Structure 1
């Protein structure tokens, strides 16, 4: 719980700075890039986490790796490095995205389905959940999950809406067991 609160503070501080300087879109994109690097380049994080390497060398790597980016991103990464939380880059990016979405009146949804959804189906799901959540729009990230059998499972933030056939069968089974007792 404490880690979540700390990560949220970094994201909120960065968001506030970006808003004050009117560069929220730029910082969001750069933070997404930093998240991708942290998730896809294990050597990068290993280097930054190595206790035998001096802090100055690690900061120099951040400076050169993100030289094309904003000073706000480089400074945030250095702050995370100083605090021993450099592995929290993806979480900071996620919280920043949530703050951005709240400000824009939008939401991010991960939709799990047995097959890839068509654009029309994505639009229908997005419109349905935008209305349900009272949001301007919902952005859909479709993931294939063959274990669902059919239907959809939608995750928005920490909430999961499960209308999958697998879940419906589980509920029927539970009801039958409860009735037979």
Structure 2
């Protein structure tokens, strides 16, 4: 469950981005931030109360410069550090994505595959998801998942509630289920007079 504070921060950032006509660029910034803060070392550094605010701001400046973040995204991170709410960053990035998708009538589809898919395959997947959902736009997020063996899965809909599974793992699970002795049905072999 996303906290109301995280939702408020995400909405405020989206409002600033919309006012500056930089919704898409801000979304790209948020994806970079999400990746940076997914590193437990980075997250722990910013959540450590013994590290002073100036040091945290100096690291934010480095992150903003190296990731080419927009000024308002950098300022947003400063605000979170000053307000001691940087601990909400992961919730805020998820909530911002939801706000962006709502504002732009965008469907988010998460495509998991064993290897990186070619861009033309991702474009076909996006077209298919658009057809299924009627959304104006489709954004694809890719995830590498070696457990799938081969093929891919697509999660979309409200909180990833819908799944299209085109993985070999699923096919193997279905074959295993069919081979389960409890599910075997004997077929009838016809002879001239009866079934034997």
- TM-score, length basis structure 1: 0.71
Displacement, 1:20? Answer: 1.9
Unaligned runs of 5+ in 2: 186-196
Name the CA shift for 1:9/1:170 in 2 (closer, same or farther; >3 Å): farther
Per the alignment, in what secondary structure is the counterpart of residue 38 of structure 2? helix
Match of residue 51 from structure 1: 49
Match of residue 124 from structure 1: 124
Greater C-alpha radius of gyration = 2
Equivalent-residue separation in structure 2 for 1:51 and 1:109 (angstroms): 37
Alignment of 1:72-83 (within 5 A): 72-83=72-83
Match of residue 7 from structure 1: 6
Residues matched between the structures, number: 178
Match of residue 173 from structure 1: 177
Task: Please say if 1:102 is aligned against 2:102.
Answer: yes
**Structure 1 runs (4+) greater than 6 angstroms displaced:** none
Identify which of 157, 160, 176 aligns with 1:158: 160
Name the CA shift for 1:166/1:12 in 2 (closer, same or farther; >3 Å): same
Displacement, 1:179? Answer: 10
Unaligned runs of 5+ in 1: none
Equivalent-residue separation in structure 1 for 2:32 and 2:174 (angstroms): 40
Displacement, 1:161? Answer: 0.4
Higher helix share: 1
Displacement, 1:172? Answer: 8.3
Name the CA shift for 1:114/1:45 in 2 (closer, same or farther; >3 Å): closer
Equivalent-residue separation in structure 2 for 1:49 and 1:83 (angstroms): 12
Equivalent-residue separation in structure 1 for 2:115 and 2:101 (angstroms): 27
RMSD: 3.5
Displacement, 1:130? Answer: 0.7
